[in-house]
Structure 1
Amino acid sequence: MRHTIALIFLVSCFSAGWGLHAQLPLQEEREFDVYINQARVYWNRDDLELALEELDKAAEWAEEQQSEKDLIDCYHYFALIYLDMDKEETAQFNNGRAALMLEEIEYPYGTAVHYYINAKILYTEGNFFQAIFQLNEARQRTNDRNLLNRITLLEADNLRSIDKYEQAETNYNSLLVNTDPYEREFLRARAYLGLARLDLVQELLPEGIENAQYALDIAESNGFTTEYILANELLANMFEQTRQFDQALASTRHLMHFKDSVRGLAREKAQLETADRIQTEYMSKEIQRQDEEIQELSESANRSELTAILSSAFLIIISLLAVSLYRNNQIKLKTNDLLHTKNRELHAARDAAVQAMEAKTNFLSTVSHELRTPLYAVTGLTHLLLEENPSKEQQEHLKALKFSGDYLLNFINDILQINKIDADKLEMLEIEFNLKKILTEVMNSLQQTAKESKTEMILDFDPEIPSHLMSDPVKLSQVFMNLMGNALKFTKNGEVLVLARLVRKEDDRARVYFEVRDTGIGISEEKQKTIFDSFEQGSIQINREYGGTGLGLTIVKSLLGLFGSTIQLESTLGQGSSFFFELDFKCKDDLIDEVPFEVTPKEYDFKGLHLLIVEDNKINQVITRKMLAKKEISSDIANNGTEAIQLASSNSYDGILMDIHMPGISGVEATQEIRKFDPETPIIALTAISLDDSLEAFYAAGCNDVVTKPFKPEVFYQKIGENILEPKLRKTLS
């Protein structure tokens, strides 16, 4: 909870504020926005008394204008501030007022904030699993970057509370490099405090002191009152445990001086009085409103007749209540007992389901990594053998081996994709992209497949679709890659049409209709009911003839679910199939279109490069080293993370190829240590990525890029050229 005690030297304007109104379009500022913005400024300074007064003005304005969404935002602000003042009952009351209004209108952002507040209340009560569930509900209903960062922070606190230290640390580390437009420094301070607490509970005191000191520095620079207190408390505790008594005493004195501030105590008292006054005024208004309604009712009827009718009705009601009260009380007691029993059963079932999901996730993570490692050896050795001029007969065998390896890799990738969606491991991006460019790139990547099946691919793109849209282009590419690839697989000597049409455009929102139509074998009406289920294809005969895992359409259905859309199908057996859906996008019409250009793979001269290979698997060491030698690249080998740190500190390398999953020190930890003394040498994560791995965590640790094993040689060399050779050449020229 955020306290309100403040020192004079810490009182300064916060640069970070929670942007509940970040989604408002740029326009002339309303009176309501002036109140809200001023309240946010006071809140960020911990001047909660003034913040509450500004919120009260904003609420009055919203009521006068009958603006329901504005009023919901006010109630949410009240709830959050009352939580910071440890007035949980009042916070729940205001959150409840917002909830009643949300039942009447469609307001996804307000719903997301409502779930976030529920999670915050559950966290304070120690209900960590329920809090995490509420946070997941909130995350699914918003793309607001500031709110998503707040959700990540609260989720990390909950994960730390249930001893999931590694996942909590990943969340905290991602916030250290956040680009939040409102609370960047506040989130960093909170993340450092979270890491310090993790270090303390794991008895990593030197690291904990360092993280707490980072948090203290940020708090002092920005006037974060609560973070200043928490950082000093942590430092005093850890300094005492490490027998650094002078530093412990200094931190304790800072705390005592801070907490004895007369100004701070008086301010806290004033804030509590203001909070109580606003709450009392609301109650008085409500009582007055009800009195007026009763008065109007009384004056509108004949008093004598009304008295007689009411007296009779009153006697009848009292009689009925007396008879039914006992029975209702007995039913209530039995119902409560039944509810308690069912609640215990539900909790047990939920815990079992959570454990089963975690076991499934851990199993898939382990299996995927263990399968990718030997697959790397298979595909790598096959590539090397194909380049050594094998005989015609050997070449056929090697191509068959390469096909089998690629098939297995695609199968593993599909299963991981499905389970990442099921386990809520995928997060939606919100970045600018060009839709026509995305569709064209996907079609270009499938041209070779189209030639082999003698099928023409056609793009029918509506020019009215805005050129600059906001969404997740990566997942959108995956949707069309699966749909087009599926259409080409089942179409020979035919046509695959990709259609994109603008349905409507209103302000900064655009709705687009998509369709992928083919002239292939079609799907029977019976099979259309199950075609989107995992491992389902048209029939066993189709599976044998055309191959594949039967996961492509399942992935499409799941990914479109993340976009809030559903896929539909029309098909006639022997004539073809049509898959269609609609998506909503934010659009940016004011941006200038990019000059179109073709990106072609570059040819690099790698001769003279000297790299460090960090890999614990002996076979993988040999394969990677030989692939580098083919391009005249020399290399050293580090068998684990500890050796990598030693070699990187005592030698000069043009780049480092870092395996992530290693015994002892992991690749992420090794990268973090290397970055402490070498911030410039390019590091490429070369890893058999698993279900629990986060690319964001790799980049946050200091990696320049990631290559997934087993990889295509051309991709491997391209990444080395882009991340290692080109920076070296630019440095030489400068």
Structure 2
Amino acid sequence: MLLFFSVLLSPSFAQSKLRPTSEIDQIFDRVLTYQHQNKIDKALESLNRAKALAEENEDLKALLDCHLRFALLHLELDDRETALFYKDRADILLNDIAYPHGEAVKKYIESVLLYRDENNYQALRMLEEAKVLSNDRNLNNNILLIEAKIYVNIEKYEDAEKNLNALLVNADDKERAFLATQANLVLAEMNYKLSNLENSIKHAKAALELAAKNGFFREILRSNEVLSKYYEELGAFDQSLGHNKSLLTLRDSLFNIEKTKIEAKTADKIRFENMSGEIEKLEEEKEELSQSANRSEITSILTSAFLIIISLLAVSLYRNNQIKLKTNDLLQTKNKELELARDSAVTAMKAKTNFLSTVTHELRTPLYAVTGLTHLLLEENPSDHQKDHLKSLKFSGDYLLNFINDILQINKIDADKVEIMSTEFKLKKVLTDVIDSLQQNAKENKTKIVLNYDKKIPDTLLGDPVKLSQIFMNLVGNALKFTKNGTVEVIAKLVERDEDDLKLYFEVKDDGIGISEEQQNNIFESFEQGSIQINREYGGTGLGLTIVKSLLGLFNSEIKLHSRLGKGSSFYFELDLKTEDKVIADIPFELNPEEFDFKGLHILIVEDNKINQVITKKMLTKKEITSDIANNGNEAIDLAKANTYDAILMDIHMPGISGEEATRQIRKFDKEIPIIALTAISLDDSLESFYEAGCDDVVTKPFKPEVFYQKIGENIFKSRVRHEA
């Protein structure tokens, strides 16, 4: 097992940016090469030379780096005691100099020690502290690797896979191939634990190829070892025997007695020299103190008197100290209990959040098939009785989709995955769009929606229009649900203005059934709708107001309620927003889906799910759009290079490289083609990251057909208008 985890003990960390490249840096590079080639004796000798240069130049940071590297090398030799000796030397230097990168590497070493002692969660916390102290790419990549191995230990396989996939495509200046080799080995081990032998063999073979190409002898040994084991379990005994023979040959060459003796002798010699040097320094300090005492008898007398006084004080304070020690022991015990309780609570919360996120995310794929196929069947002229069934199925699919979206939104807020953006927007248009989208619901309840908008509010504001839309969509939708043959009024007023800072008042009120005082106390809690009878009569999940409360919390605002049973309800709040005193040319470009001429368009569909491929292709065919299909990100890049498309529909979550990475690669040779992300967005996804990767728009799966066609039309035809202008 030591060989398998050897990468944890041999990273190459870049030097402080404050010190230019020097002879010491060049030696560090040679040390790294020797480590990877299993020439530990030469690595130790080279590092000892770097230490001598650092002492000669009085370069404390370089000396500290040497101590840390010695510690890592001795951990690789499984010599914990000597590793701790060098780490302690580094600790002493860190007390005298400010060197965040050195502190980060020290914490990395401490995390390795904790990991080897199977203190997985403490090791993860130490790695988080190391990340904060340094942004060095090589250090962060090695942190990703040890994190992944810890995640495998604690069976958090999705987190491990995320780290390892990042390492497979890393751009590390010093250890790109080595890190990718190690990542493949860990993926092979993880897939073996998950009983996926085919993937285990695939990654082990990739590791062997990289290791053989770069001369990573320990990794060649490990790759042959696991391949022999995996092939034997598959029943492929010829392949297993071949790798077993290679394994025996490698062991003879890599771990013969003479080589082991040389490594041990070199390590002992250098350790003895360094420890002797430390002892000589202590002896010199002792001699200086002794000479100083002889030169001053008065100092000696005063010192003796001082010691006597200290002794008397120690006796008098002994009893108090005993009491304090007992108190401290009790406090430490209680603190440990509290820490355990806190860790348990955090773990439980994360487990709940991850469970709900995983469930809602996984439900989207089959739901995409349900909604997509229902839409296609409705357009194929079904009989009347079939049409009724299909409409019922569509209603159920839409209801389930809204429920999933609500749960995911609450989870993202609870997990601090939601951030407030600040972009220019027109408040009146946001409110108008919300009202227009809910007009059909209003007609069904024979209810009017009225907008009461203060003309004093500036046209253009700075804020987050998406989250404001979500707030009003839930408030107005909630009011419509409980109001029949009535009126829902949306109010926006300017309360106060101080230059560019605004305070706005918003209110959504209705004349519906109202809410009793007793029910008002918990109406904003999840899955609460006032009563079981109300839930049965009006339907819904009871999550809308919870989302409103959570989103307003991000704005440092609070939702308030005034209601009387049978008289209606009023939900109101205030928001602090900003404006800019400048005139913005408002030339809206609005296209109606009916105006799009889709005929003749050619689109690339990037999707790994076969059912989703069929549905998406059929939906495009309905509009006379031809299409090609790429099963993964690499195929998408190749097809985009070889063909001309009007747009690309890019799935984000795919095996191999993700949709985001594929988009980045395509943007290197095609800056103009519209790329629309199609994603069953999960807890860890960020719309901002999709746009940063180069996507022009995002459609979440399962999507409504009208939204799907609208996004395609807008992005293709707006892009053409921009180029023609």
TM-score by length of 2: 0.59
In 2, Cα distance between equivalents of 1:696 and 1:519: 26
Q: What amino acid does structure 2 have at the position aligned with 1:258?
A: L
1:472-491 aligned at under 5 Å gives the runs none
Q: Which residue of 2 aligns with 1:242?
A: 234
Residue 358 (1) aligns with residue 351 (2): yes
> Relative to 1, partners in 2 of residues 1:151 and 1:697: Cα closer, same or farther, differing over 3 Å?
farther
Q: Which residue of 2 aligns with 1:347?
A: 340
Q: Which residue of 1 aligns with 2:38?
A: 46
In 1, Cα distance between equivalents of 2:364 and 2:195: 35
8 Å contact from structure 1 (residues 491, 521) kept in 2: yes
In 1, Cα distance between equivalents of 2:714 and 2:207: 36
Q: Which residue of 1 aligns with 2:196?
A: 204
Q: Which residue of 1 aligns with 2:285?
A: 293
Match of 1:283 among 275, 285, 288: 275
Q: Which residue of 2 aligns with 1:455?
A: 458
Alpha-carbon displacement from aligned partner over 1:174-221 (angstroms, at most 9, x marks no partner): 322333332222122112211221232233333322322221121111
In structure 1, the gaps of 5 or more residues are 7-13, 386-403, 427-437, 460-477, 498-515, 524-534, 537-545, 558-572, 581-597, 642-653, 662-666, 676-681, 726-734
8 Å contact from structure 1 (residues 417, 555) kept in 2: no
> Relative to 1, partners in 2 of residues 1:364 and 1:255: Cα closer, same or farther, differing over 3 Å?
closer
In 1, Cα distance between equivalents of 2:252 and 2:263: 17
> Relative to 1, partners in 2 of residues 1:517 and 1:282: Cα closer, same or farther, differing over 3 Å?
farther
SS of the counterpart of 1:520?
A: strand
Q: Higher relative CO (CA 8 A, sep ≥ 6), structure 1 or 2?
A: 1
8 Å contact from structure 1 (residues 361, 419) kept in 2: no
Quote how far apart the aligned CAs of 1:407 are: 10
Quote how far apart the aligned CAs of 1:223 are: 0.8
1:126-145 aligned at under 5 Å gives the runs 126-145=118-137
Q: What amino acid does structure 2 have at the position aligned with 1:290?
A: L
In 1, Cα distance between equivalents of 2:575 and 2:198: 69
8 Å contact from structure 2 (residues 461, 578) kept in 1: no
Quote how far apart the aligned CAs of 1:222 are: 0.8
Alpha-carbon displacement from aligned partner over 1:69-126 (angstroms, at most 9, x marks no partner): 4344333322222222212233233334434544565544334333322222222111
Q: What amino acid does structure 1 have at the position aligned with 2:416?
A: I
In 2, Cα distance between equivalents of 1:291 and 1:257: 50
Q: What amino acid does structure 1 have at the position aligned with 2:288?
A: E
In 1, Cα distance between equivalents of 2:372 and 2:240: 57
Quote how far apart the aligned CAs of 1:444 are: 6.8
Q: Which residue of 2 aligns with 1:180?
A: 172
Q: Which residue of 2 aligns with 1:443?
A: 424
Quote how far apart the aligned CAs of 1:2 are: 6.4
Larger radius of gyration, structure 1 or 2? 2
Q: What amino acid does structure 2 have at the position aligned with 1:362?
A: F
TM-score by length of 1: 0.58
SS of the counterpart of 2:68?
A: helix
8 Å contact from structure 1 (residues 62, 70) kept in 2: yes
8 Å contact from structure 1 (residues 159, 168) kept in 2: yes
8 Å contact from structure 2 (residues 605, 613) kept in 1: no
In 2, Cα distance between equivalents of 1:151 and 1:519: 45
> Relative to 1, partners in 2 of residues 1:616 and 1:685: Cα closer, same or farther, differing over 3 Å?
farther
Match of 1:519 among 488, 491, 502: 502
Quote how far apart the aligned CAs of 1:269 are: 3.0
Quote how far apart the aligned CAs of 1:224 are: 0.8
In 1, Cα distance between equivalents of 2:675 and 2:233: 37
Quote how far apart the aligned CAs of 1:686 are: 3.8
In 2, Cα distance between equivalents of 1:47 and 1:447: 70
8 Å contact from structure 2 (residues 112, 123) kept in 1: yes
Quote how far apart the aligned CAs of 1:237 are: 1.9
Q: What amino acid does structure 2 have at the position aligned with 1:361?
A: N
Q: What amino acid does structure 1 have at the position aligned with 2:286?
A: I
Match of 2:68 among 76, 81, 92: 76
8 Å contact from structure 2 (residues 460, 579) kept in 1: no
1:319-718 aligned at under 5 Å gives the runs 339=332, 343=336, 346-367=339-360, 415-421=410-416, 442-443=423-424, 448-449=429-430, 455-457=458-460, 517-521=500-504, 549=548, 551=550, 605-607=599-601, 628=620, 631-633=623-625, 668=655, 686-691=678-683, 707-709=699-701, 716=708
Q: What amino acid does structure 1 have at the position aligned with 2:424?
A: M
Quote how far apart the aligned CAs of 1:141 are: 4.0
Q: What amino acid does structure 2 have at the position aligned with 1:455?
A: P
Q: What amino acid does structure 2 have at the position aligned with 1:421?
A: D
Residue 167 (1) aligns with residue 159 (2): yes
Alpha-carbon displacement from aligned partner over 1:504-555 (angstroms, at most 9, x marks no partner): xxxxxxxxxxxx94233499xxxxxxxxxxx99xxxxxxxxx9983555765
> Relative to 1, partners in 2 of residues 1:718 and 1:345: Cα closer, same or farther, differing over 3 Å?
same
RMSD value, Cα? 6.2
> Relative to 1, partners in 2 of residues 1:671 and 1:660: Cα closer, same or farther, differing over 3 Å?
closer
8 Å contact from structure 1 (residues 496, 517) kept in 2: yes
In 1, Cα distance between equivalents of 2:608 and 2:30: 53
SS of the counterpart of 2:195?
A: coil
Range with bigger deviation, 335-344 or 129-138: 335-344
Residue 58 (1) aligns with residue 39 (2): no
In 1, Cα distance between equivalents of 2:711 and 2:99: 44
Q: What amino acid does structure 2 have at the position aligned with 1:181?
A: D
SS of the counterpart of 1:443?
A: strand
